[in-house]
Amino acid sequence: MLRLFRVVRRVIETQQRESLLGGHGKGGGGVNVWTGFFLLAMDYRNHVGWTEGGKEGKRKRPRGEEGVLEGEGGDRAKVEEVEEAVCESMLALVLRLNEEELRALFLRVAHWKKSGDGGREGGQRSRRLVFYRLLGYLVETLRSIFVPYFGYIWSDIQADLRLFSIPSSSSVPSSILAVHNGEVSKEKKKEKKRRREEEGATGEDRMEGGLEPEKQGPILITLILTALTKCFQCDDEGEEDGNFLTQTRFDAILPLLTGLITGLHSFLPPASSPSANSTYRALAEANLIPCLAYMALAAGKDVLWKPYHHQVLMQTRARAWEVRWVALRTLRETFVVVGEEYLAMLPESIAYLSELLEDEREEVVEECKTTIAYIEDLSGESLESYLA
């Protein structure tokens, strides 16, 4: 499969555009043919039986499905390598398309992502994974040109984030926000499910292919956050008065992204030992924290920073120390990414920082001191008198 898509990519890159896309009738026939081919290829994970959260190893295939795929089904790294090759080949095609052709291709892929299951249990879950992998490739390469295309899938992204997020708002019971040691009782799970339903998550999003938040694993949310981070980074490159992240879009996604600070702690496994770095903290540092900081940068206005800043600060009062640590780390990274303009948010931070200096966990206290030191360096002013 890898060799096949290396050849496909080479053909796409070297063929004349007329030969590559013509000869299949009117109405973008050549693009449609290529799109259909790549949609089949993007279902590779379904054909070999690998879905995130599923059992490792080969699945038993129905009679007649053996052959070229045999021996590859149990190797997740191999599956991901093939998906990356498919995405790279598809990206080569995208670079040969005009705007109208690109829009048609993307809308068809977006429809494919949620239109079926590839005939396999958990198939739509697999489609989510490869779709967000492709999305990351597209925005990383096309940058601000591609950012507006996120508008077509903004509601889909929100639905997928709801699988992991516990929105931080005054309407959410403190019993849900205060998750202790990563363990969530059955009553809290029922409450979270009820709340997700009230907030608009569809039955398809919640239960397709047996999809439960606890079984998702880190890969899907990592791919979503990676794509969003690149979107926010490239949105800042766009026209000053035409940025993608409008107040409406910001308001829709803000509680879901900040809610991941608590939500991911509920769903990801705890550290193997007190001294070990948990999956939660590792994922937060690599993906969640940069995504939140660059969202603040893309927002670029006090009126949007205020609710963002407040929701991050509220997470510093969670019972779980790792949640407090990640919230603090998010605060510091936001000052790093946004810069001096974000000092306008400092007054509200003082009371929270003062509390965190007295935290029972040494890790939280140390991160608080590091955050204060960075803010002092950025502002050129000591905060000691305010924190006393």
- String of DSSP letters for 38-104: HHHHHTHHHHHT--TTS-SSPPPPPTT--STTTTTTT-HHHHHHHHHHHHHHHHHHHTT--HHHHHH
The amino acid at residue 28 is: G
Look at residue 269 in the predicted model and tell me its pLDDT.
73
Look at residue 168 in the predicted model and tell me its pLDDT.
62
**What distance in Å separates the CA atoms of residue 101 and residue 279, rounded to the nearest whole number?**
40
Q: Which two tokens stand for residue 228?
A: 């969003």
Look at residue 37 in the predicted model and tell me its pLDDT.
94
Look at residue 342 in the predicted model and tell me its pLDDT.
98
Measured CA distances, 11 to 6, 8, 20 (Å): 9, 5, 8
Instruction: Give 246-290 pLDDT, tens digit per residue.
Output: 999 999 999 999 999 999 998 887 766 665 678 899 999 999 999
3-state secondary structure of 183: strand
Look at residue 209 in the predicted model and tell me its pLDDT.
36
**What distance in Å separates the CA atoms of residue 157 and residue 165, rounded to the nearest whole number?**
12
Of the candidates 148, 339, 132, 134, the residue with the CA atom closest to the CA atom of residue 237: 148
Of the candidates 75, 196, 51, 193, the residue with the CA atom closest to the CA atom of residue 126: 51
Look at residue 237 in the predicted model and tell me its pLDDT.
61
Taking the domains of the chain in order of start, what are their residue ranges? 1-59+68-122, 146-342
**What distance in Å separates the CA atoms of residue 318 and residue 262, rounded to the nearest whole number?**
8
For residue 199, how many other CB atoms are within 10 A of its CB? 14
Of the candidates 231, 169, 227, 232, the residue with the CA atom closest to the CA atom of residue 199: 169
Q: Which two tokens stand for residue 345?
A: 């948010």
**What distance in Å separates the CA atoms of residue 361 and residue 325, rounded to the nearest whole number?**
9
**What distance in Å separates the CA atoms of residue 130 and residue 335, rounded to the nearest whole number?**
33
The residues facing 180 across adjacent strands are 183
Look at residue 120 in the predicted model and tell me its pLDDT.
57
Exposure of 91 by Cβ count < 10 A (0-12 exposed, 13-18 middle, 19+ buried)? middle
Q: What's the number of CA atoms in the CB half-sphere (13 Å) around residue 237?
A: 14
pLDDT profile of the chain (388 residues), mean per 10: 90 90 61 93 80 44 34 66 95 96 97 75 80 98 96 97 79 36 42 45 40 59 98 76 87 98 87 72 97 97 97 97 98 98 97 98 97 98 92
Classify residue 237 by its DSSP letter: T
Instruction: Give 159-218 pLDDT, tens digit per residue.
Output: 999 999 998 654 333 333 333 333 344 444 544 554 444 343 433 444 443 344 444 468
Look at residue 164 in the predicted model and tell me its pLDDT.
92
Look at residue 38 in the predicted model and tell me its pLDDT.
95
Look at residue 204 in the predicted model and tell me its pLDDT.
42
